[in-house]
Amino acid sequence: MNRKHQFVLSKIVATLGPASSDVEAIGELIQAGARVFRVNFSHGTFDDFDRMLKNVREAAKEEDRFIGVLGDLSGPKIRVGKVVDEGVQLEAGRTVRFVSEAEATQTPGRVDEPVVFSVTQGGFLDDVCEGQRVFLDDGNVRLTCVEQFKTGGAFLECTVEVGGKITTGKGINLPDTDLSLPSLTEWDHKCIDFAVDAGFDFLALSFVRRAEDVKELKHRLRELGARPKCPSTDDPSAGQCFSTFGSDLHSFVPVIAKIEKPQAMEHLDEIVEEADVIMVARGDLGVEMDVAEVPVCQKEIVHTAHHRGKPTIVATQMLQSMIESPVPTRAEATDVANAIFDGADAVMLSGETAVGKYPVETVKTMRRINRKANDHRLERGMEFRQPANIREGKFRTAALAHGVKVISKDLDAKLIVLWSELGGGASYMAQNKLPVPVITFSESTSALRRMSLLYGVVGRKMQRPKSADTFLHAVDDLLLKNDWATRGDPIVVVMGEPIGKAGLTNKILIHHVGEM
């Protein structure tokens, strides 16, 4: 394989599920190009989640890779309760009543009586007002609230505008309603405790509406010892950019804010400032707003995150047809490429790898599209502007990262090599979207796993070298052994002196492989 194509600059996140959760399957996905695995806490038990995590760790060890594991919190997702038999067919004009007490759907014999659905989150019944829309099953079934009742137990009465079949657990979306539900449910709190104890590398927060939702999760993680106790050290503007990736806490858990509510778009700047990573979660976002607005929102979210130096993940239906087909549609391939052109640090697969027939082929396909898109972007000189927090902060490592980008282009460097004790330096390199892979060395396993989401960063474990010369000799040996470079190839080396001191990256070297 061409050395240039051994690495994936834009990372691939793959969701685990029945089609992909054993060690062998995960190993094949890693070989295909997956670098982060998502565990969806909405489906399964803690035994299931623990088994998935352990299987990823075992497969990663066998593949000699540092792979991140992302726990996706369910959030206050509202769903229809238990529905009798095989579901209920709703016809346009039918009256539907939503209640919090019923154990199962009540289907009356007469059409002039309402169909009654129980709901999993009864608190929303107080929030919906007359005239507001109620969507079921990802917007395939659409209703309008005609009356809200608060006496004798709150319930809603709605009229079906667009009919369809409703079965147990179908999602409910409320595009016109500002919900008062808490961002973290009782189940979420149990999942957070489990994830920290088990050693998950990232937590994704669903249905973020405002920055306070992110703060609530970060506060809980501090209580569990998974973030710095002092809030000021948890703020990138306080000094080291991305303390998330540069923390010396063994169980540090970065927070990924999922943008999937219209209200989040109204508070986007504040959410991006507060979160560590941003996910463009196009599923519910596309249900709760006009689908024509979703591409514009995606570009705005990715641009805003890059402006603040935060990694972004674009998710949902990227290669959806590959759940059933061994090849994607042309539109899907273009969608993935456009996410890369926009500046996404990672792209995510959901059902494609969780339940699809072709999980490995799907990851391989996404990897090929990633590579072609990045090659095209670099060949055409499609540069991303330096993030504002780097330009304005005047941090030493940030300035070095910008210098590395210029030097690597002028030198036509084959690779960037970095010693990053805890990951802070690696995050600066990733923010600058360097044109070649950044081989990043550290002796911290947890830091290397967190780096798995960073653009262009390839983590390798190494015992802290005693000197710069020792480090360069070890680097030469590794690059030549793995055929990542040939003797005489120019590379740019970034490190601190003394080497290994956290937060001290102060030196750039132009080095030719094997010429010491």
Q: Does 341 reside within a domain? A: yes
Residues of the chain with pLDDT under 50: 1-3, 232-243, 393
Global confidence as pTM: 0.91
Q: Does 157 reside within a domain? A: yes
Last-in-domain residue among 329, 358, 379: 379
Give the model confidence (pLDDT) of 12-45 as tens digits.
999 999 999 999 999 999 999 999 999 999 999 9
Co-location of 306 and 249 in the same domain: yes
Which pLDDT score, from 0 to 100, does residue 236 have?
39
> Contact 162/142 with Cβ under 8 angstroms?
yes
Q: Following DSSP, what letter does each residue of 285-337 receive, concatenated?
A: HHHHS-GGGHHHHHHHHHHHHHHTT--EEEESSTTGGGGT-SS--HHHHHHHH
> Contact 459/452 with Cβ under 8 angstroms?
yes
CATH code (residue 372): 3.20.20.60
Co-location of 230 and 335 in the same domain: yes
Q: Does 178 reside within a domain? A: no
Co-location of 188 and 313 in the same domain: yes
CATH code (residue 443): 3.40.1380.20
Strand, coil or helix: 473: helix
Co-location of 215 and 330 in the same domain: yes
Q: Does 459 reside within a domain? A: yes
Co-location of 214 and 318 in the same domain: yes
Last-in-domain residue among 338, 355, 379: 379
Co-location of 339 and 471 in the same domain: no
Co-location of 314 and 396 in the same domain: no
Which pLDDT score, from 0 to 100, does residue 306 have?
92
Q: Does 1 reside within a domain? A: no
Co-location of 23 and 158 in the same domain: no
Last-in-domain residue among 379, 400, 430: 379
Which pLDDT score, from 0 to 100, does residue 250 have?
56
Q: Does 4 reside within a domain? A: no
Residue ranges making up the domain that contains 70: 10-75+184-379
Co-location of 154 and 298 in the same domain: no
End-to-end CA distance of the chain: 27
Q: What is the DSSP letter of 68?
A: E
Which pLDDT score, from 0 to 100, does residue 249 have?
57
Which pLDDT score, from 0 to 100, does residue 28 have?
98
Co-location of 32 and 151 in the same domain: no
Co-location of 43 and 147 in the same domain: no
CATH code (residue 86): 2.40.33.10
Q: Does 255 reside within a domain? A: yes
CA dihedral angle for residue 282, residue 74, residue 42, residue 50, rounded to 10 degrees = 120
Co-location of 164 and 56 in the same domain: no
Give the model confidence (pLDDT) of 246-304 as tens digits.
555 556 899 999 999 999 999 999 999 999 999 999 988 889 888 999 999 999 999 99
Q: Does 5 reside within a domain? A: no
Domain count, the chain: 3
